[in-house]
Chains A and B, each alone.
Chain A
């Protein structure tokens, strides 16, 4: 029963990782860029939510309504001003530039908010749980996050499949030149994709902030988990990202069941095994 409980908790944790990773997956699927500051932007969103709560005393879920649109704007700007520019130089430059950005954000947060660890107050959500049986209970917060991940993934899929802008995003992702000869403003479309990705980053950052504590240096760890989820599932496939998140979550929780310090390491080992054996991930997809 202990193991079943651990596996179920792992699946729920996977929802958090998937929520975290779908922005990374979207940006990679569309622009072939991995934003190494992804995790730091999520931590930044958590601090932003903290500041909003301190300023206007609203429940944490309302802070999301401020953070997500604001991050969409930030995402559009980062894409147009930084990522696109470095992408024009070389793909390796995007890695170096976003890595630099990551270090700058971490240290700026350290300067503004100190190294103390923080957490977002989630009230009843954190303490309450749905009791399935004596030993198996599902926390409301974990369920909410898992549900949010599924809603976000469905919404992104619907956007890409059904809307005109979504079709333009897919066209630009498949073939920039052809798309632009057909009248697609590729740079603007990439900006929109980044804006959506950053809005999910804000959601994920707030969710993670409610789920566990964070400090200015928490970003890289989150980026690694998100990237692991994306790679395990298969780059560019959003449902694959959910599967990857779940596999990573289960590996980590089962690993820490074996030994308290083994959880994160177990996740890394699963990731490296997938890279060695199935480098395209479990559910490979060429495009979004």
Chain B
């Protein structure tokens, strides 16, 4: 009984290994990636731009579904808002590259009124209502001739650039967007606000009872996810040089985001990154098989959702206890088995 009074020293860290190693590793990877336009041909960097667009979409969708419990099937509306913002700004003489952050802001702003209308909805109501908003905005854009109507519009602002310079700038912009998204998500989840979100993820009613302001937390996440999708849409138009309402507002984008997150693992920072890598490899290797690639990827995602609900990263984590982006806390000393330390 006296043993219970014995002082226990507990050391609390954010990760088992010092997290500056992750920072150093991340900076090194970023430096290598940033130098690629000098080393490889543009087809490689073009592929990477598409990769980063998918990564940005999946990471921000995962914030919504994995943490706030909001399954959105309508993030394509913000992809569209981002792309058309770049189109309009470039039409009035603005550099398309500088318009990318503004497109993210515009999409974030556009998501505020939608959040007022939809955030009190739950489950399927929210999913299909977001989808209908995307369809409605897409149909409305189709009716505006100055935005290209049904035939689409071409981004003119980049005509003056040398193709090699344009492709390198596009790639660097994408790299910046991807880095800001991943690091931003990580810092967001590491903060006090991230603790709120993790509590909502694990038990919404419980989170509410300990004072988490659910609705405002969800709103912040929804706006952040909207801005991320907007940045992805801006990258899309800058890399493809044109935009078509039917394809940019297509629900196909939601399918990609959902498949990536399900394969990699919902509710972690690492999951969507791993998921994007795998989705991208599947997409590239099945590219000449037409519809088969979505049949295969979709089946994998469904099977994963039902039998491996924490995704591939969940398997990696169970096996090796690694976290590239430690968002929780480790307790040292108090717990006998550090491998089972409670991590939030």
Chain A interface (Cβ within 8 Å of chain B)? 28, 33-34, 36, 82, 85-86, 89-93, 95-97, 99-101, 103-104, 106-108, 110-111, 220, 223-224, 227-228, 231, 261-262, 264-265, 268-269, 271-272, 275-276, 279
Contact B306 A85 (CB under 8 A): yes
CA distance A224 to B132 in the complex (A): 7
- A97–B131 Cα gap in the complex (Å)? 16
- Bound form: Cα–Cα A272–B74 in Å: 14
Residues on the B chain within 8 Å of A261, using CB: 139, 142-143
Rounded to whole angstroms, the CA-CA distance of A110 and B127 in the bound complex is 25
Partner of B125 from the list A33, A92, A231 (CB cut-off 8 Å) is A231
CB proximity of A112 to chain B, nearest CB, Å: 9
B40 contact set on A, CB distance < 8 A: none
Task: Select which of A91, A108, A110, A223 is within 8 A of B123 by beta carbon.
Answer: A91
Residue pair A268, B135 in contact (C-beta under 8 Å): yes
Partner of A97, one of B125, B135, B295, B305: B305
Q: What 1/0 mask marks residues of chain B from 272 to 285 whose CB sits below 8 Å from any chain A CB?
A: 00000000000000
A95 — which chain B residues lie within 8 A by C-beta?
Answer: 71, 123-124, 127
Task: Report the bound CA distance from A228 to B129 in whole Å.
Answer: 9
Complex contacts, A89 vs chain B, CB 8 Å: 305-306, 309
CA distance A82 to B302 in the complex (A): 9
CA distance A274 to B28 in the complex (A): 52
Q: What are 9 A-B interface contacts by the 8 Å CB criterion?
A: A36-B124, A96-B65, A96-B71, A96-B262, A101-B302, A103-B298, A271-B132, A272-B129, A272-B133
Task: Write the nearest CB–CB distance from A128 to chain B, whole angstroms.
Answer: 33
Q: Are A275 and B298 in contact (CB under 8 A)?
A: no
Neighbouring A residues of B18 by C-beta, 8 Å? none
Contacts of A231 in B (CB 8 A): 125, 128
A275:B306 contact, CB within 8 angstroms: no
A residues in contact with B136, CB < 8 Å: 265, 268-269, 272
Nearest 4 A/B pairs, CB to CB? A34-B124, A107-B291, A100-B302, A104-B298
A28, A100, A268: the one contacting B262 at CB < 8 Å is A100
| Smallest CB gap from A221: residue in B | B135
Which residues of B sit under 8 angstroms from A103, Cβ to Cβ? 255, 259, 294, 298
In whole Å, how far is A229's beta carbon from the nearest beta carbon of chain B?
12
Q: Which residues of A contact B294 (CB under 8 A)?
A: 103-104, 106-107
CB of A275 within 8 A of CB of B301, answer no
Query: What is the CB-to-nearest-CB distance from A96 to chain B, in angstroms, rounded to a whole number?
Result: 5
**Nearest chain-B residue to A96 (Cβ)?**
B305
Give the B interface residue count (CB, 8 A). 41
Number of A-B residue pairs with CB-CB distance less than 8 Å in the complex they form = 121
Chain B residue at minimum C-beta to C-beta distance from A227: B128
On chain A, the residues within 8 Å of B140 by CB distance are: 265
Measured CB to CB, the nearest residue on chain B to A85 is B306
- Select one of B124, B128, B292, B306 contacting A93, CB under 8 A: B306
Output the least CB separation between A203 and chain B (Å): 22
Does B95 sit at the interface, judged by CB under 8 A?
no
Most buried by A among B117, B255, B290, B306: B306
Given that A36-B127, A231-B125, A272-B133 are known contacts, is A264 also in contact with B305, CB under 8 Å in the complex?
A: no
| B120 at interface, CB cutoff 8 A | yes
Complex CA–CA separation, A265 to B258 (angstroms): 26
Shortest A83–chain B CB gap in Å is: 10
What chain B residues lie within 8 Å of A33 (beta carbons)?
124
Q: How far is the CA of A97 from the CA of B305 in the complex (A)?
A: 7
CA distance A92 to B298 in the complex (A): 17
Residues on the B chain within 8 Å of A224, using CB: 128, 131-132, 135
Chain A residues within an 8 Å CB radius of B120: 279
**Other A-B pairs beyond A34-B128, A104-B294, A279-B125, 20, CB < 8 Å:** A34-B127, A86-B306, A89-B305, A90-B309, A99-B127, A100-B255, A101-B302, A103-B298, A104-B302, A107-B292, A108-B291, A111-B295, A223-B128, A224-B131, A227-B124, A227-B128, A264-B135, A265-B140, A265-B143, A272-B136
Are B291 and A93 in contact, with the CB atoms below 8 A?
A: no
* B35 close to A (CB within 8 Å): no
Residues from chain A with Cβ under 8 Å of B128 in the complex: 34, 36, 223-224, 227, 231
Report how far A272 CA is from B121 CA in the complex, Å.
12
Shortest beta-carbon distance from A92 to chain B in Å: 5
Q: How far is the CB of B309 from chain A (nearest CB, A)?
A: 5
A-chain residues with CB within 8 Å of residue B133 when the two chains form the complex: 272
CB distance from A78 to the nearest CB of B (A): 12
Q: Give Cα A86 to B124, complex, Å.
A: 14
Q: Is B96 interfacial (CB 8 A cutoff)? A: no
Q: Please name the residue on chain A nearest to B66 by beta carbon.
A: A92
B121/A111 in contact, CB under 8 A: no
Q: Check: B69 CB closer than 8 A to any chain A CB.
A: yes
Query: Are A100's CB and B258's CB within 8 A?
Result: yes
Question: Which B residues touch A34, using CB under 8 A?
Answer: 123-124, 127-128
Bound CA span A101–B298, Å: 7
Report A-chain residues with C-beta under 8 Å of the C-beta of B71.
Answer: 92, 95-96
On chain B, the residues within 8 Å of A228 by CB distance are 132
- Inter-chain contacts of B65 with A (CB < 8 A): 92, 96
- Complex interface: chain A residues within 8 A of B291 (CB): 107-108, 110-111
Q: Is the CB of B139 within 8 A of A265?
A: yes
> Which residues of chain B are near A108, meaning CB under 8 Å?
291, 295
